[in-house]
Amino acid sequence: MKRHFSMIREFHLADWFTLANAFCGTGAVFAAMRFLQDGRPHALLQGMALIPLAFLFDALDGRIARWRQKSSSMGRELDSLADVISFGVAPAALAYACGMQGGWDWVVLSYFVCCGVSRLARYNVTAESLSGDDGKVRYFEGTPIPTSLVLVVVLALAAWNGRLGDSLWFGAIDLGWQLHPLVLMFALSGSLMISKTLHIPKP
């Protein structure tokens, strides 16, 4: 007889680390909203600090799965969904909170998130065909989505130096809608993620 919460009982140790990744990403989104609500920079910095922690959990879940020799399709899907939150939606939300709120900023940040989603979907579909005889994927097509941690570091430096809102680095330009040139780093990151020709060796 099936019991309530039976799915949770079937989680492996690595899956809990994956969920911790998602937890950190969600916390970063909430921190961005808290900053927009009360304007206190420390809330924003706390949210940004959760992304490196999410990166750590993301790195550990795969190692733990290999160490315990327990992996599953469920774990792979969990990993992708957690990464969308922590390294796709959360960085975009933090960028918005930092002041990238123009119409073109919205477009670029949405493009970045969509690239991240597409990147992870492609990996899940092609992982088997890209794996070697030992079943291990040899390389990534396009940059992995956790590389968006670099974007969050840039945002954290801006926040630490008080360069938020109207003081954001490089200012803003009016192209019918407002565009902050700093948001273009998200456009570049997203484009690199969906590249078909860029191959990154997988450790």
**Rounded to an integer, what distance in angstroms lies between the CA atom of residue 87 and that of residue 59?**
13
Label residue 153 by pLDDT band (50, 70, 90): very high
Going along the chain, which residue ranges are E strands?
A: 139-141, 173-175, 177-179, 199-201
- 12 or 59, which is more confident: 59
The confidence score (pLDDT) of residue 61 equals 74
Phi/psi for 202 (5° steps) reads -95, 125
Per-residue pLDDT, averaged over 134-157, amounts to 84
Closest residue by Cα to residue 20 from 63, 51, 66, 43: 51
**Rounded to an integer, what distance in angstroms lies between the CA atom of residue 79 and that of residue 9?**
18
Label residue 131 by pLDDT band (50, 70, 90): low
Domains along the sequence of the chain with CATH: 8-201 (1.20.120.1760)
What are the beta bridge partners of residue 140? Answer: 200
What is the percent of the chain with per-residue pLDDT over 70, rounded to a whole number?
Answer: 81
Contact 58, 82 (CB under 8 A): yes
Q: Which residue has the tokens 């992304």?
A: 51
Give the number of other Cβ atoms within 10 Å of residue 21's Cβ: 30
Tens of pLDDT, residues 76-120: 788 889 999 999 999 999 999 999 999 999 999 999 999 999 998
